[in-house]
């Protein structure tokens, strides 16, 4: 029987990444009473490298009661330095101290595990949220009016001793959110149903993610200076760059690279990570300055891991009946703007607002509310996806007129103001990203958008 109260809607979320966790938490904070999260992993054993915590993310997490735990371990950035990879010469410098005063929140950096863990801990404090781990959600039988999918429990038990096999079972709900990442099965089914082919775009790029410990750097004064500074440093070169900053109360130095993809080119599209080769990593950045090479050399043999960077073409829609896509399932992005997690969290926040404002508990009303979410979020998300790609192109220029113009713009920063080729550090871009409160926009514009649908 359909619920009479909006807050009694049965809401299912597939995936417990940043988007899924944020959606669940935001819904619970709006008062929804029945939120189930299906996650194929057996637990949220958080891994990953550093992550940038931009003001637009912090603003939402503070409203959801999850920010203070994250902030305690994070590092408050004071500036960023963009440097020539081969010489360590500073091309541009941007002061970030103004960000806290301008946007009420700082730009911080932290560990991805701290961010996800704090949102998960906040979810666990909400009685409305139930996590179903070790459960693969697949085969959507219906996107609405009562979304239905198959949940397949993985074997219980562990330690290689097998375990009890539980049969698949159907799950029916009132609203379904697919936060199942860039390889989203739900997205693929939704697009096939409408004969839409949104191709995976192979960027031709891969990334190393590196975490150096303070104790590994302590005997090198130049490296110790880097981990002690509240600063983001980006070393750039032709088709490659490295971005680095301290996290975990300056106990870890996080380095993320982007370089041409050599190892995945012949791999099946399902392959996203591979064991990396340290000698090959050293060769890729072999013409970078000694400081950078000393840091890369600190990575233990056998601990080099490489990620393939893939995105897909913008989708014409995110909503089908009472089902909607969230986060990387609908707008995966390159890392050059540091907005991937923030945009997934914005999705979750807007979803909770629009569903809380439902004027009626009917499938038609739910569909229209989800389309308000799509309207508020889609153009913004895809604008930032393209900006991230453009920033990466600017960072990776080889010798020529375009690189000379980019470096001229960097030089102009030292004597005054002007556009920053590294869009992440550009004040106008920051204003567009950080100055937009998507929860407030959803609150204020809901009725007007809803009436047009």
pLDDT tens for residues 154-172?
875 444 445 567 899 999 9
Residue whose C-alpha is closest to residue 171's, from 194, 140, 207, 201: 140
The DSSP element (H or E) to which 171 belongs, if any, is: strand 169-172
Q: Which residues of 222-254 are buried (b: 16+ CB within 10 A; e: fewer)?
A: ebeebbebbbbbbbbbbbbbbbbbbbbeeebbb
What is the token pair recorded at 342? Answer: 């923030």
d(CA 332, CA 338) in angstroms, rounded, equals 12
Alpha-carbon gap, residue 100 to 106, rounded angstroms: 4
The DSSP result for 77-120, as a single string, is --EEEEEETTT--EEEEEE-THHHHHHSS--EEEEHHHHHHHHH
User: Residue 131: inside a domain, yes or no?
Assistant: yes
Asked whether residue 406 is assigned to any structural domain, the reply reads no
The pLDDT score that the predictor gives to residue 157 is 46
Q: Kindly give the parts of the chain with pLDDT less than 50.
A: 157-161
Do 153 and 40 contact (CB within 8 A), yes or no? no
pLDDT at res. 414: 62
Q: Computed from CA positions of residues 394, 309, 194, 24, in that sequence, does the dihedral angle turn out positive or negative?
A: negative
Nearest CA-CA partner of 54 in 415, 375, 436:
436
pTM score over 0.95: no
Tokens read off for 345: 């969290």
C-beta separation of 324 from 370 below 8 A: yes
What pLDDT sits at residue 2? 63
**Three-class secondary structure of residue 174 per DSSP:** coil
In a domain, 261, yes or no: no
Q: Is position 126 within any domain?
A: yes
Treating both helix axes as pointing N-terminal to C-terminal, what angle do 340-356 and 55-63 enclose, rounded to 10 degrees? 40
Note the pLDDT of residue 158: 43
pLDDT at 156: 56
125: in domain? yes
Alpha-carbon distance of 329 to 314, in angstroms, equals 11
Q: What is the C-alpha to C-alpha distance for residues 212 and 270, in angstroms, rounded to an integer?
A: 29
Torsion angle of the four alpha carbons 231, 235, 236, 237, in this order, in degrees rounded to the nearest 10: 180
Rounded to the nearest 10 degrees, what angle do helices 55-63 and 18-29 cross at? Answer: 40
- Confidence at residue 342, expressed as pLDDT on a 0 to 100 scale: 97
For residue 306, the surrounding DSSP H or E stretch is strand 305-312
Other Cβ atoms less than 10 A from the Cβ of 44: the count is 18
CATH number at residue 434: 3.50.50.60
* Domain count within the chain: 1
Note the pLDDT of residue 233: 96
- Strand arrangement, sheet containing 175-178: 129-132, 34-38, 10-14, 175-178, 323-325, 319-320
Q: Which domain holds residue 163?
A: 6-75+112-199+315-395+427-452
Within-domain flag for 1: no
Residue 174 lies in a domain: yes
Query: Does some domain include residue 176?
Result: yes
Kind plus residue range of the DSSP H or E element containing 364: helix 363-395
């Amino acid at each position: 029987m359909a619920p009479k109260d909006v807050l009694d809607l049965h809401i299912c979320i597939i995936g417990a990444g940043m988007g899924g966790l944020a959606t669940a938490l935001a819904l619970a904070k709006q008062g929804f009473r029945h939120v189930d999260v299906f996650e194929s992993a057996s637990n949220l054993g958080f891994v990953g490298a550093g992550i940038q915590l931009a003001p637009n993310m912090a603003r939402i997490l503070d409203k959801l009661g999850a920010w203070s735990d994250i902030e305690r371990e994070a590092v408050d950035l004071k500036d960023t330095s963009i440097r020539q990879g081969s010489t360590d010469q500073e091309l541009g410098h941007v002061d970030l101290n103004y960000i806290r005063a301008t946007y009420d929140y700082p730009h911080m950096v932290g560990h991805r595990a701290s961010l996800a863990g704090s949102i998960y801990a906040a979810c666990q404090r909400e009685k409305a949220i139930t996590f179903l781990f070790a459960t693969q959600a697949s085969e959507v039988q219906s996107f609405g009016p009562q979304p239905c999918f198959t949940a397949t429990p993985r074997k219980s038990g562990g330690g290689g001793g097998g375990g009890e096999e539980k049969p698949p079972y159907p799950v029916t709900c009132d609203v379904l959110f697919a936060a199942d990442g860039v390889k989203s099965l739900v997205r693929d089914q939704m697009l096939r149903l409408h004969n839409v082919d949104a191709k995976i775009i192979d960027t031709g790029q891969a990334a190393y993610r590196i975490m150096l410990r303070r104790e590994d750097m302590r005997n090198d004064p130049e490296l110790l200076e880097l981990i002690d500074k509240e600063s983001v440093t980006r070393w750039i070169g032709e088709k490659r760059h490295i971005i680095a900053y301290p996290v975990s109360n300056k106990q870890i130095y996080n380095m993320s690279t982007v370089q041409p993809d050599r190892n995945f080119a012949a791999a099946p599209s399902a392959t996203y990570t591979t064991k990396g080769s340290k000698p090959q990593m050293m060769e890729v950045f072999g013409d970078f300055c000694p400081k950078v090479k000393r840091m890369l050399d600190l990575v233990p043999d056998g601990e080099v891991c490489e990620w393939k960077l893939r995105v897909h073409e913008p989708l014409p829609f995110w909503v089908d009946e009472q089902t909607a896509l969230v986060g990387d399932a609908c707008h995966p992005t390159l890392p050059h703007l540091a907005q991937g997690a923030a945009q997934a969290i914005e999705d979750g926040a807007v979803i909770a607002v629009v569903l809380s404002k439902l004027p009626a508990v009917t499938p038609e009303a739910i569909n229209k509310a989800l389309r308000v979410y799509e309207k508020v979020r889609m153009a913004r998300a895809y604008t930032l996806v393209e900006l991230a790609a453009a920033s990466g192109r600017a960072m990776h220029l080889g010798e020529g007129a375009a690189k000379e113009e980019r470096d001229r713009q960097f030089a102009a920063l030292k004597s005054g103001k002007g556009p920053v080729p590294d869009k992440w550090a550009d004040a106008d871009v920051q204003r567009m990203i950080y100055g937009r409160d998507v929860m407030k926009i959803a609150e204020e514009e809901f009725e007007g958008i809803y009436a047009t649908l």
